[in-house]
Amino acid sequence: MRFALAVVVGGIVQIVPYARADTPALLAIAYVIFAAFGAGFFAGRREWLAGALSVLVGAALYGVTNQLGYRTGGGTTLGDFLTAETSLLLGVVPYAFLGGLAGFGGGALRTRVVRRRR
pTM above 0.75, yes or no: yes
Distance between CA atoms of 2 and 73, rounded to whole angstroms?
A: 43
Residue 97: pLDDT band (50, 70, 90) is very high
Distances (CA, A) of 12 to 6, 50, 54, 78: 10, 13, 8, 23
The predicted structure's pLDDT at residue 6 = 93
The predicted structure's pLDDT at residue 73 = 60
For 66-84, what is each residue's pLDDT tens digit? 777 666 666 667 777 777 7
Q: Is the pLDDT of residue 99 over 80?
A: yes
User: How is residue 21 annotated by DSSP?
Assistant: T
Count other C-beta atoms under 10 Å from residue 10's C-beta.
31
The answer to whether 105 touches 37, Cβ cutoff 8 Å, is yes
